[in-house]
A and B are shown apart, each in its own frame.
Chain A
Amino acid sequence: MSLTKSERTIIMSLWDKVSSQSEAIGTEALERLFLSFPQTKTYFPHFDLHAGSAQLRTHGAKVAAALGDAVKNMDNLDSALSPLRDLLAYKLRIDPVNFRLLSHCLQVTLARNLPRDFTAEAQAAWDKFLGRMSDVKTAK
């Protein structure tokens, strides 16, 4: 299920529009995740997850950085994300269902921030891209 040329263009162009505020995007997505799907907080018992917390912002920045890397390496997600996969799947042992929840919250965040650009086509491309990222992160 590799991304088509047109999907890659859509993804890159959308990311370009938010890349200057990517940390805020990552942080907002996490805030949404923890509020809508509180079970995801179980992976962060050591964090202060309240809105505006420094730890939330730091982690949001990490999520955004990983996303940015993935966008730059769409042709080669397997090797680009391999260190992240090792961390998430083997060290942290995150249940794969949670990546789908984060993908949804990222899409809500993008839709809210870029209402005109997050068209049906853009949503389809991003859903596929984030799905691919989840696949890589959970590949055994």
Chain B
Amino acid sequence: MKENKGPDHQQWGIKGQALKQQHKAASDTFVIDHQQAPRRDTMVHFTPEEKCIISKQWGQVNIDETGGEALGRLLVVYPWTQRFFDNFGNLSSSSAIMGNPKVKAHGKKVLTSFGDAIKNMDNLKGAFAKLSELHCDKLHVDPENFKLLGNVLVIVLAKYFGKEFTPQVQSAWQKLVAGVATALAHKYH
């Protein structure tokens, strides 16, 4: 079903013309059957402390290295993810993957885009709408992979930040990576 782009749809995440018509006709109290009731957009909300933790640490992240490391680890630890990178050359071993220049370059690209999330923590779905469409329509990436990469990134950050990567800090980052994964999957159809 094609998604509607009208304001009702954007607010409630409704798919399909039929539902949009129903909601226009319905009263504000939404007497529609629960199964079809519009969901309030489940946006992730970050506390000021969480935003501060994340922005501060992000400022210290070496985007060049961290991106390549995270993507490389994804390909090493979850080898099926290599399916998206057939043209990346030598991915035959852990050291080949971690040293592969295309992996490093693409990792940097991915992480740079992650930086956009940090600038738009109040509207991750909006910020990643186009990328979501790309990953669905052109790249055909199973959204499960976004969760895997998010968790790998958390591990890489733990490695770099050491003692500073406290359980509280981790929980802020887990919230962010989960939010990004959801945002990236949001436009799938």
Which residues of chain A have C-beta atoms less than 8 A from B159's C-beta? Answer: 111-112, 115, 118
What bracket does the count of chain A residues touching chain B fall in?
20 to 34
* C-alpha gap A123/B182 in the complex (Å): 25
With contact pairs A115-B160, A124-B76 given, residues A35 and B168 touching in the complex (Cβ less than 8 Å): yes
Name the interface residues of B124-169: CB closer than 8 Å to any CB of A. 151, 154-156, 158-163, 165, 167-168
* C-alpha gap A37/B174 in the complex (Å): 9
Interface string of B13-27 (1 = CB under 8 A from A): 000000000000000
With contact pairs A31-B167, A32-B170, A108-B170 given, residues A123 and B77 touching in the complex (Cβ less than 8 Å): yes
For B163, give its contact among A36, A111, A112, A121 (CB under 8 Å). A112
A120 touches B (CB below 8 Å): yes
A59 touches B (CB below 8 Å): no
Which residues of chain A have C-beta atoms less than 8 A from B98's C-beta? Answer: 120
B73 touches A (CB below 8 Å): yes
For A104, give its contact among B76, B94, B151, B163 (CB under 8 Å). B151
B97 touches A (CB below 8 Å): yes
B38 touches A (CB below 8 Å): no
* C-alpha gap A37/B171 in the complex (Å): 8
Give me the 8 closest cross-chain CB pairs, A-B, nearest first: A36-B174, A112-B158, A35-B171, A36-B171, A111-B158, A120-B76, A111-B159, A115-B159
Interface string of A108-132 (1 = CB under 8 A from B): 1101100100111101100100000
Which residues of chain A have C-beta atoms less than 8 A from B72's C-beta? Answer: 120
* C-alpha gap A51/B167 in the complex (Å): 10
Name the interface residues of A40-65: CB closer than 8 Å to any CB of B. 51
The minimal Cβ–Cβ distance linking A40 to chain B, given in whole angstroms, is: 12
* C-alpha gap A111/B156 in the complex (Å): 8
Which residues of chain B have C-beta atoms less than 8 A from A32's C-beta? Answer: 167, 170-171
Is the contact region of chain B dominated by helix, strand, or loop, or is it mixed? helix
A107 touches B (CB below 8 Å): yes
Interface string of A78-119 (1 = CB under 8 A from B): 000000000000000000000000001001110110010011
A124 touches B77 (CB 8 A): yes
Report the nearest B residue to A117, measured CB to CB: B159
Report the nearest B residue to A112, measured CB to CB: B158
A28 touches B (CB below 8 Å): yes
15 sampled A-B residue pairs with Cβ under 8 A = A32-B167, A36-B170, A104-B151, A104-B154, A104-B155, A108-B155, A108-B170, A112-B162, A112-B163, A115-B159, A119-B94, A120-B77, A123-B77, A123-B155, A124-B76
* C-alpha gap A37/B163 in the complex (Å): 20
A112 touches B165 (CB 8 A): yes
B154 touches A108 (CB 8 A): yes
- Contacts A35-B167, A35-B168 known; list 16 others, CB within 8 Å: A28-B167, A35-B170, A35-B171, A36-B167, A104-B155, A111-B156, A111-B158, A111-B159, A112-B158, A112-B161, A112-B162, A118-B159, A120-B98, A124-B76, A124-B94, A127-B77
* C-alpha gap A127/B155 in the complex (Å): 12
Which residues of chain B have C-beta atoms less than 8 A from A51's C-beta? Answer: 167
